[in-house]
């Protein structure tokens, strides 16, 4: 698993597309066991006033209705550590592996976004963190510019000490 994977490149392109649209810059891509892209998407919360369209959910939605066998051995690439909702969706469909571009850690280190990494591992899903500077940079810029939109996205109240 690396930054050269087609799935990762597609997820990063989706994140950039999200940024271009003024949205939260997180992208994802679902790749099957043979390396075929089943779907890709980006966070549409702001664009669609959606409560659920995180990048991973957009991706599953864009991949469409699939039989359980399609997810067997599949990899969900996402540019950011998945939240609990997206972790749940990956577990539900039994995706075998989650490859994340990175985790976001603020300059003050007190609002680390810890997603579902631990739960995924506990449930036998392989988790790879590529610690990609571009993914983390996109998030850092967005959170610095729009902290309120970010906290809303992860179901949190804005922090006062930004």
- Which of 38, 83, 135, 139 binds Zn ion (CB under 5 A)? It is 83
Buried b (16+ CB within 10 A) or exposed e, 120-146: beeeebebeebebeebbebbbebbeee
Span interacting with Zn ion, options 38-46, 53-61, 71-79, 94-102, rule CB under 5 A: 53-61
Question: Binding to Zn ion by residue 97, rule CB under 5 A?
Answer: no
Catalytic residue among 3, 13, 56, 126: 56
Question: Binding to Zn ion by residue 54, rule CB under 5 A?
Answer: yes
Q: How far apart are CA 143 and CA 162, in angstroms?
A: 10
Identify which of residues 69 and 148 has a Cβ nearer to Zn ion in the complex.
148
Q: How far apart are CA 5 and CA 17, in angstroms?
A: 18
Instruction: Identify whether 61 is a catalytic site residue.
Output: no
Q: Which two tokens stand for residue 105?
A: 């850690």
Interacting residues toward Zn ion by CB under 5 A? 54, 83, 85-86
Catalytic (active-site) positions: 56
């Amino acid at each position: 698993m690396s930054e050269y994977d087609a799935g990762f490149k597609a997820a990063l392109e989706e994140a950039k597309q999200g940024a271009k649209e003024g949205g939260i810059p997180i992208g994802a891509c679902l790749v099957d066991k043979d390396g075929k892209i089943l779907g890709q998407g980006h966070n549409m919360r702001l664009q669609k006033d959606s409560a659920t369209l995180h990048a991973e959910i957009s991706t599953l939605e864009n991949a469409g209705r699939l039989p359980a066998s399609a997810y067997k051995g599949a990899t969900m690439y996402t540019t950011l550590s998945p939240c609990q909702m997206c972790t749940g969706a990956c577990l539900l469909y039994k995706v075998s592996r989650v490859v994340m571009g990175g985790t976001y850690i603020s300059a003050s280190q007190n609002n680390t976004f810890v997603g579902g990494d631990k739960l995924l591992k506990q449930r036998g899903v392989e988790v790879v963190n590529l610690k990609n500077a571009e993914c983390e940079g996109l998030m850092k810029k967005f959170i610095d510019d729009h902290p309120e939109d970010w906290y809303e996205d992860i179901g949190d109240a804005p922090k006062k000490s930004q």
